Amino acid sequence: MDARAHTPEELETLFEDAFVLRDRAQLCALFDAPAVMARGDGDEARGPEAIGRAASDLWAGGRAYVGGARRVLQADDTALVVSIAGIHVARRDRDGAWRLAISLLDLSDPPGRENDMTDSAQALAPAMTASHEGEARWWFDCLAVIRVTAEQTGGLLSIVEIIEPPGAAGPLHVHHREEETFWILDGDVTFEIGDAVLHARAGDVVVGPRGIPHRYTVGDAGCRMLFLMTPGGFEGLVREMSVPAGSRTLPPASDVGGEPDWQHVAAVARAHGCELLG
pLDDT confidence of residue 121? 42
Q: In this structure, what DSSP letter does residue 130 have?
A: -
Beta bridge partners of 87: 82, 104
Angle at 121 between CA 158 and CA 82, to 5 degrees: 65
* Spatial CB neighbours of 96, under 8 Å, sequence gap ≥ 6: 6
Domains observed in the chain: 8-116 (3.10.450.50), 135-276 (2.60.120.10)
Beta bridge partners of 182: 206, 227
What CA–CA distance (Å, rounded) separates 189 from 263?
Answer: 27
What CA–CA distance (Å, rounded) separates 43 from 45?
Answer: 7
pLDDT confidence of residue 2? 54
The whole model's pTM is what?
0.62
- Cα 188 to chain centroid distance, Å, stands at 26
- Sign (positive or negative) of CA dihedral 165, 167, 172, 174: positive
pLDDT confidence of residue 158? 93
Residue 117: C-alpha distances to residues 69, 102, 120, 121, 272 (Å): 21, 24, 5, 6, 24
pLDDT tens-digit profile, the chain (278 residues): 456 788 888 888 888 888 878 888 989 999 998 899 998 766 789 999 999 998 888 888 777 776 667 788 888 899 998 887 789 999 998 888 999 999 998 765 443 334 443 444 445 788 899 989 999 999 999 999 999 998 888 788 899 999 999 999 988 999 988 889 999 999 999 999 999 999 999 999 999 998 899 999 999 999 999 999 988 889 999 999 999 999 999 999 765 556 788 889 998 998 888 889 97
Q: In this structure, what DSSP letter does residue 108 have?
A: P
